[in-house]
Structures are given as C-alpha cells and as structure tokens.
C-alpha cells in the first residue's frame, strides 16, 4: 500500500514539473507564524495580508472550495481556498498537493461560521513536495487515532518523522535546549569560562567505564573516545583558569537501558579554592533557579511524584543510608554479608562482585530506590572514589557527594584530589584492580600526574547528566525520549 501511495505522489511530482511548477523551492519570505497571524486577527474587513509557510497537515476539498490546515513550529492555522478567487489553473494545483507538502501562503484573515480564524488564501506556492506520506494517523468518531507513528523503535530510528507528526515530542527537545541554555547562562553569570577539551584522547579517565577506541592512521596510535571531561578540565586549573566548565558528549562502551545511552551529554564544572560543600550549594542554586525559570514553580509533578526543588536540598550520609535500608554497617561488614544482602534482594550479580563494586551494588539495590526528592548523598567509601580528597577527620571516606532525584543519580562531585603522590597511589590501586580483571578500573595517567606536580589549587568539581536532568524535567521515563538520535542496533 505504501509503495502505491509513493508512486502516486511521484506521478503528481511529474505533473507539477510538466505544468512548470518548481517542486523544491530555494527560499521563501514569510511575515508571520501561524500563532502570530491568529493573534493579529481584528475583523474580516482588515485588509492586512499575512504570508505564512509550513506543512499541510489536513486537506478537505469540497468542489469549488477547499479547507486545509497549515502547521509550523508555533502551531496550526486553517486555510480556505476558493476557485472563484484563485482561478481554475491555480485552484487546480490543489489536486497535486499532498499532506506533508511544504507550502507558502498569502492571504487575509477571516472567521468561518463556526468562529474559527482562518486564512483566506490569495496565492500559494509549493516549497517542497513530500514524496513519502507522514504517519499522521486518522481520528475516528470516538477520538482514537489509527495509523499514527507509535512504535517506539521506529520513532527513534525515524526521529525526523516522529518530530514532524508529534508536537509534544518537539516540545521535549525545545525544553532540552532551554535546560542547556539555562545551565550555560548560570555558570557564565558566576564567572565560569566555557572551554573545549579533547574528545579523542590517548588515555581515557575521570570515571570507571569501558571506552570506545579507534586507530589514528597518521600517528599510528590508538585513541579513545572520552568517558569524562574531568582530567583535562583539572589541567585547566593547573594552568590558571580558575573556573571552567564544558557541556559536551561523553562515550561509554556499555549496555543500553532506559537510563543509559552509550553516547550522552554531561555538564562538568571545576572551581579553584572551593570544596564539595561549595559545589553542593552552587548546584542546588543552579537547579532551583533553572526549575523556577522554566516552570514558574519550584514544585513539579513528575513520574507520579511531587518533587520540590526548593532550597536547601536534603543532605544524607552514605553509610547511614546503607545501615538504614540494607541493614549492614559498611565499617565492619564482610563481602559475605554484603552478598547475603544482595541475594535477599534477588540481585543476579551477587556472586560475581567483590570489593568496591559489591559495596556500590548494595547501595544501588537497597538505597537508590528510596531517594525520590532531590538529595545529596555525602561522604563515600575511599575505594569508590579514586579522584576525591580524603574526608577531613576520617581517611576511610572521601569528600564526595552524588545528587539523586527520582531514584537516579543526577550529579557527582568531589573535593578534588590535588596531591600528586596520593593520586599516584590511587591510580596504582586501580591498576591492581585492572590486573585482577576489572576492565573499568582507571588507567595510570602520567601526564595528569605531571600536571598535578606543577601544582593544582584546592578545588571542587561537579559532573551533571544533561540527559537524566531532561528526563526528570520533561517527565520522560526513557533516556531515548530525550536524545534526538539515540544509539540503536544498525538496520
């Protein structure tokens, strides 16, 4: 059926060309959007002519008159074509138009008998012929749409079609842009300098993850897509750029899920002479300002919960949360006790994990599901954080927090480790984990250590996931719904 429809459209294309109509225009000057035109209506006697452009999303011919709807980024407006006003030749071109075609329209505004503001078309121009029908769907008498683009994987693969037919999807990505703009404006206002660091790196670091790797032909060397921006942004601190941030893509060669896409967007910022307490205050201020600016309220109904972004956010201790929700004391518990906790929660990885990863899995399994409101979880075990400074007064912990909202980590921050000898010891511990089979453990980066030896000021740093923040604020439950073109298995 689809092939027949496309063939019919190509026949119309051929006829348009034969009639001397250019089916793919170069440009078009419009004077207003659909919403601007609707807002400009005063009376049927107003002689003002409006020039609009957009897609045809409805066509209803009635002999010598035709009604249609034009859609542009601002919304829809009804069009009215009349044979007596356009002439037979021009009116006849309507038979060669299809839903999805881009057209330019000029005319005056009027109201129909039903009170709908409508553009009375004086001239129209074909701007782009759609050779494939958009899956717009048809609404039956009960209001149910049929034939609409609803299959999730098809929507992700053909995001262009998804955007074209779903106004709510377009709004998600407009919101995403406003979120990024808001973060950038906030950090700029605090005196931060936006910088760019390498995406292709000779060594990857700044997180525990498996990288994507590639071969650089001219240098005959292996390079990695970055898994984090951290180590290069800290190099900027060494060089005297005291407040820096970057918003960019990172890449981790891991599985796909509702919360993970191998290519994702992070905002990372680092500030000299600050610690993790300063970073918590800055981050909650940023999010509180952002939410209030976007939604004119600090309280949002999202994912079935009422979330409050009013300051201050809750602050809770990592060890206390594990005692409360897992029933074990991390200062004294053995691996066997932690495995028993995971088995009680039917964790499939209970017997394969050990050491730091076992601790981390207990937290993810028992604590994360309890964290709904914006909550800073503070003071993590040393073994989980090879780039953070030891906690003042307790060297078994580090000055690190993670911000959780709606059961998921949203941001991660440290009082940054700036002792090069201690950093080397941490890297060597990670190397031992790699030798024992942990492929995600961090590599020893001699150049980063050399940078620290030149002297990095005390600093605080934060990494915030743009995709996950957008999921929460846009009320989406799958990360693919907030990434324009998510990673998929090749067709």
CATH number at residue 71: 2.40.50.140
Q: How far is the C-alpha of 462 from the C-alpha of 285, rounded, in Å?
A: 13
Q: Are residues 404 and 281 in the same domain?
A: yes
What's the alpha-carbon Rg for the chain, to the nearest Å? Answer: 29
Residue predicted with more confidence, 255 or 120: 120
Q: How far is the C-alpha of 233 from the C-alpha of 420, rounded, in Å?
A: 16
Q: Are residues 193 and 120 in the same domain?
A: no
pLDDT in tens, 103-130: 999 999 999 999 999 999 999 999 999 9
- Please report whether residue 345 resides in a domain: no
Compute the mean pLDDT over every residue in the chain, rounded to the nearest whole number: 94
- Please report whether residue 444 resides in a domain: yes
The DSSP H or E segment spanning 289 is helix 276-295
- Give the burial class of 170: count Cβ atoms within 10 A of its Cβ; 0-12 exposed, 13-18 middle, 19 or more buried: middle
**Helices marked H in 77-151 — which ranges?**
83-86, 88-92
- In this prediction, residue 435 carries a pLDDT of 84
- Please report whether residue 190 resides in a domain: yes
- Please report whether residue 486 resides in a domain: no
pLDDT in tens, 161-182: 999 999 999 999 999 999 999 9
Q: Are residues 448 and 392 in the same domain?
A: yes
Give yes or no for residue 140 having a pLDDT over 60. Answer: no
Domain count, the chain: 2
Among 3-7, 146-150, 210-214, the least confident range: 146-150
Q: Are residues 102 and 227 in the same domain?
A: no
| Relative orientation angle of helices 230-238 and 446-455, to the nearest 10 degrees | 30
- Please report whether residue 138 resides in a domain: no
Q: Are residues 82 and 173 in the same domain?
A: no
Q: Are residues 102 and 203 in the same domain?
A: no
- Give the burial class of 478: count Cβ atoms within 10 A of its Cβ; 0-12 exposed, 13-18 middle, 19 or more buried: middle
Q: What is the mean pLDDT of residues 218-237?
A: 97
Q: How far is the C-alpha of 407 from the C-alpha of 409, rounded, in Å?
A: 7
Length of the chain: 491
Q: Which range of residues forms the domain containing residue 397?
A: 167-313+373-481
Return the biggest CA–CA distance within the chain: 89
Query: 133, 158, 176: which is the final residue of a domain?
Result: 133
294 φ, ψ (degrees, to nearest 5):
-75, -35
- Please report whether residue 253 resides in a domain: yes
- In this prediction, residue 314 carries a pLDDT of 98
Q: Are residues 299 and 241 in the same domain?
A: yes
- Which residues, in sequence order, are CB contacts of 432 under 8 Å at separation 6+? none
Which CATH number is 255's domain given?
3.30.930.10
Q: How far is the C-alpha of 185 from the C-alpha of 296, rounded, in Å?
A: 17
Q: Are residues 226 and 92 in the same domain?
A: no
- Cα 68 off chain centre by: 34
Q: Are residues 127 and 7 in the same domain?
A: yes
pLDDT in tens, 317-336: 999 999 999 999 999 999 99
Query: 82, 113, 133: which is the final residue of a domain?
Result: 133
Q: Are residues 102 and 59 in the same domain?
A: yes
- Please report whether residue 352 resides in a domain: no
Portion of the chain with pLDDT greater than 90, in percent: 86
Q: Are residues 118 and 200 in the same domain?
A: no
Q: Are residues 113 and 191 in the same domain?
A: no
DSSP designation for 273:
T
């Amino acid at each position: 059926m689809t092939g027949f429809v496309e063939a019919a459209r190509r026949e119309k294309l051929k006829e348009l060309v034969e009639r001397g109509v250019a089916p793919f225009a170069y440009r078009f000057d419009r004077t207003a959007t659909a919403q601007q035109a609707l807002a400009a209506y005063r009376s049927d006697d107003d002689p003002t002519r409006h020039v609009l452009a957009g897609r045809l999303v409805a066509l209803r011919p009635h002999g010598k008159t035709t009604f249609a709807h034009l859609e542009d980024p601002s919304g829809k407006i009804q069009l009215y074509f009349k044979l007596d006003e356009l002439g037979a030749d021009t009116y006849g071109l309507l038979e060669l138009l299809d839903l999805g075609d881009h057209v330019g329209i000029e005319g005056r505004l009027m109201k129909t008998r039903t009170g709908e503001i409508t553009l009375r078309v004086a001239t129209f121009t074909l701007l782009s012929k759609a050779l494939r029908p958009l899956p717009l769907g048809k609404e039956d008498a009960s209001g149910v749409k049929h034939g609409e683009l609803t299959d999730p994987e098809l929507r992700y693969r053909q995001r262009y079609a998804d955007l074209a037919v779903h106004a709510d999807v377009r709004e998600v990505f407009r919101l995403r842009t406003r979120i990024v703009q808001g973060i950038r404006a906030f950090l700029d206002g605090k005196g931060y300098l936006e910088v760019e660091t390498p995406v292709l790196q000779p060594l990857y670091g700044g997180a525990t993850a498996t990288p994507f790797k590639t071969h650089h032909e001219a240098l005959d060397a292996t390079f990695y897509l970055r898994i984090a921006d951290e180590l290069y942004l800290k190099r900027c601190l060494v060089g005297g750029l005291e407040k820096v941030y970057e918003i960019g893509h990172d890449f981790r060669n891991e599985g796909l899920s509702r919360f993970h896409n191998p290519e994702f967007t992070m905002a990372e910022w680092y500030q000299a002479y600050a610690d993790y307490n300063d970073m918590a205050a800055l981050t909650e201020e940023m999010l509180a300002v952002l939410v209030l600016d976007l939604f004119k309220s600090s309280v949002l109904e999202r994912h079935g919960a009422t979330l409050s972004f009013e300051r201050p956010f809750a602050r809770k201790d990592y060890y206390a949360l594990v005692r409360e929700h897992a029933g074990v004391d991390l200062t004294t518990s053995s691996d066997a006790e932690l495995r028993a906790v995971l088995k009680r929660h039917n964790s499939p990885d209970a017997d394969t994990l050990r050491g730091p990863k076992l601790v981390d899995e207990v937290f993810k399994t028992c604590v994360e599901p309890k964290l709904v409101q914006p909550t800073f979880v503070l003071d993590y075990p040393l073994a989980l954080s090879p780039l953070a400074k030891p906690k003042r007064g307790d060297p078994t912990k580090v000055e690190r927090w993670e911000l959780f909202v709606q059961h998921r980590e949203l941001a991660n921050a440290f009082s940054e480790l700036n002792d090069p000898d201690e950093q080397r010891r941490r890297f060597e511990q990670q190397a031992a984990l790699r030798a024992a089979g942990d492929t995600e453990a961090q590599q020893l980066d001699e150049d980063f250590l050399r940078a620290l030896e030149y002297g990095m000021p005390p600093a605080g740093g934060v990494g915030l996931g743009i995709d996950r923040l957008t999921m929460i604020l846009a009320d989406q439950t799958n990360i693919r719904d907030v990434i324009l073109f998510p990673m998929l298995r090749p067709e």
